Amino acid sequence: MKIIGMIPARLGSKRVKKKNLRLIDGIPLIQYIVNAAKDSSLLDEIYINSESTQFEGIAKESDIKFYLRPEELSSDTATNDDFALDFINNVECDILVQLLATSPFITKEEIDGFIKAMLDGNFETMISVSNVQIECIYKGNPVNFDQTKQTPPSQLLEPIKSYACSLMGWEVRRFKTNIEKYNAAYHSGDGSIGFYELKGYSTIDIDNEEDFVLAEAVSSALKRGNTVPQYYEHYKKEKSEVDVPSILAKDGVEINDLFDVNNEVVALSDILNTMPKDISWSKRVIDTESNSMTIICQMPGEGNRRHHHPDWNEWWYIVEGEWKWEIEGEVKKIVQGDIVFMEKNRKHKITASGSSRAIRMAVSRADVAHVYNAKDC
């Protein structure tokens, strides 16, 4: 039995230009599903299916195959049935597994789990779904709850299956039979059908600009790994914060660009010339598992709150201007060209001084804990 993985990828996109080539955390969107598919142990071959040879380069670099579909099957009117049928008429296989490039967080374990469930259940069509466990209404009528009764806990509601579409699987002979009979096979037509549940980040589907913002945040969080959750405790004299965007906002930094990171070469002069001259801002340049580097600009009198880091050393390079650096109660004047090292657990507070903006390059880690006295929060 031959199982083929097919990744459909149009170059054109109405809502987001060249969506499948758009970078998330420096990697083309399509590359995420390519990498997961390559790591699968159950796919015999993998193809990118596109009308554009731009994707052929990605296929070659990834050591997978490329199928050039006819131009007419890349229009807005071409259906999934149309290009899938064209593919299986030209590429021999017994089972076709379709993997969407717009689902960047699908894992190899989910791909193999999907295929195994299809084989074990002897299903002729397999559809990935997410279970929605909340009150649902269709055409004004309740689907999984009774409007005349009290609302039960959500975990007791009957789950509603919603298409995830990220993974679809078809037994090729049944697919062709359904096309001949119904001129449609995507939803199964005749034949046995199974459902495979996807959860969490794997259900994210990239359709618009807001989805890309979400994907960037998820990618950044996944790189950092698990962090210890923080909870409000009113009686504590100290409070720990790890969310950098929130920390910078509380410190009065007005513009925070934290996701376009890890470019191979970055000109510091370009950053300084393109960012605002008269308001505070931050620009993260590096964000890896081991450390991060963020450039922070603040106006005279602006700065951060007194804090310390319990488990991480930090250092800065002063790019521009003057700073008043308070370290364990001692105040130092720091100027352009200085390097400041701060050992963990040392309390410090930084304030821009002088008559013009001050810019510091902070080298730390994106998820390092900032611990504040309650009075300084």
Angle formed at CA 359 by CA 355 and CA 361, multiple of 5 degrees: 160
Radius of gyration over alpha carbons of the chain, in Å?
Answer: 26
* pLDDT tens digits, one per residue of 2-17: 999 999 999 877 778 8
What pLDDT score does 236 carry? 65
pLDDT in tens, 83-128: 999 999 999 999 999 999 999 999 999 999 999 999 999 999 999 9
For residue 167, name the pLDDT band (cuts at 50, 70, 90).
Answer: very high
- How does pLDDT run across 320-354, given as a tens digit for each residue? 999 999 999 999 999 999 999 999 999 999 999 99
The string of pLDDT tens digits covering residues 264-284 is 999 999 999 999 999 999 999
Q: What is the pLDDT of residues 187-206, one digit of tens each?
A: 999 999 999 999 999 999 99
Residues in CB range of 286: below 8 A, 6 or more apart: 261, 262, 292, 293
Question: Is the Cβ–Cβ distance between 286 and 366 less than 8 Å?
Answer: no
Q: Convert 13-47 to b/e letters by CB count within 10 Å (16 or more is b).
A: eeebeebbbbebbeebbbbbbbebbeebebbeebb
Q: Structural domains in the chain?
A: 3-222 (3.90.550.10), 230-376 (2.60.120.10)
Q: Is the pTM of this model over 0.75?
A: no
Neighbours of 262 (CB within 10 A): 15
* Euclidean distance between CA atoms 234 and 66, whole angstroms: 59
Residue 340 CB contacts under 8 Å (≥ 6 apart), including other chains:
315, 316, 318, 325, 334
